[in-house]
Structure 1
Amino acid sequence: MATLMGTRVYANGKKIACKASDGKLVADRPCAQTGVMGLSQPQSDDMADYQEIPVMQAQALVAEKAPWLEGYADFRRHVYPWTINETVIRLYPGDVVFDGDFAAGPDSVLVAGSLKVSGLLTDCHEADRMQLYVLGDVEARDLMSFSEVVIGGAACVERLVYLNSLNDYSFSVYGDLSADGLVEEGMDSWVGGEIEARHVLSLQNQIRQGRGEQERDYPGADGDDATEVFLPEFLDDGYPKMAEILAALREGRIVLK
């Protein structure tokens, strides 16, 4: 008998599926997502084509397609007023699948559907800061963020979610989040739905959970310390070595105990 645990479903102790933001379960593929926008999953990378659109057009699209993200997703937030007409947003107009890693940047990115990355999903590629907004669900093997990420659906990550923006930016998931490890080391982090992770480590105590009046500090954020989460070679005096972790994830290596 399958038992629902956060966003994942287990049968006889084995993970068989993941619950997407629309409540549907997709069996046979761990962490498979159907997409909050109701779009079908692409079968190849053909839909990875993108358009460059102005900031105000991108913001209008967010308001139209994902009104529940009002107050969370705002491309105008980190754009100087005198550059807003010259700044472009990279728009992926539907569901997108990347076979391998996806490093978002240097332009900010809007995915008007769901995003599936078979490898490592990162931001700030060739940029000091950027915004990655996905209106649907996100599925990835690993996720590392150094700037601002907003996910309008669920986040289903097979291994590690690692968040560190030196306390300058935020990571927001409107739906559920599931991962083997969730590590916050200097990122204002919020999950509107359930959090399911074997390890949760909040070094800056900045993980909040719930929506509206139910929002609160995540009670399980101080359950582990770094020595219980990471393999010894990825620690320096008990703290994560971010550069080494990033390099290992790019190579597909395991960093969690």
Structure 2
Amino acid sequence: MNNRRINNCFSKLKKEKKSAFIAFLTSGDPDFSTSLKLLEAMPNAGVDILEIGMPFSDPMADGPVIQRSYIRALKSGSSLIKTLDLVKKFRLNNNFTPVVLMGYYNPILQMGLRNFINKARIAGVDGLLIVDLPPEVSKELSLELNKSTLDMIRLASPTTTTDRMRSILKSSSGFLYYVSITGITGSKINKILDIKKSYMNLKKITNLPFVVGFGINSSKKAREIAKYADGVVVGSDLIKQIEKGIENKSNIFNNVIDLVKKYSKAINK
């Protein structure tokens, strides 16, 4: 489903010859109010799209940093309902920054697929990325999303063949999320040349924006990747700032926002 906020964001940045800076935060890490405060400040600090992690007790695709953030979030009382409430409160003062929810299928299934999609739409969610649900087993989800205004964002990786990519693209919208590593989040990134090659190959078969994430842990790396991507996702490096500030939460906001500004400047230098 075409979503206006996501499409408008990439169209605007394309005209400006810029890459989108996508920042990831876990909902409720370290608590609801801090999450909301960070989300509200990020667009003014240079973030183009917000990606919010839906806490889950068994985040198998995520590295240790994000796994620990999920544990902290669940301990603070975060849930799928609380995540939707977080988006709803964010939308009270921001109706233009795209919001993508990223996570696992089980909590959505427990809430009820149609119920979740309806609540997500009302809250102001723009896209959904389910890391443990490949296209072959997500027909029901795709059908429901097609009835809504939410984009279905899919994952691809360095090992994705062209035929497989074509299959993934059939049920993708918003943007394609390219996993720049062959492993879990926060791992070592593949060579920039491999990313460039994947970008060039993808552009031959689709106009969908090409976004790179997983393993981007320095502003220098983000700047290099931005040359060959329509968007760059930074997650673990931001989460680390939250983790460092757990003992003194008053430092978290400034530390995270300062790092966000550093990445924003690097991505569009």
The structure whose residues are more often helix, as a share, is: 2
Tell me whether the two structures share a fold, i.e. TM-score over 0.5: no
TM-score when normalising by structure 2: 0.28
Higher relative contact order (CA 8 A, sep 6+): 2
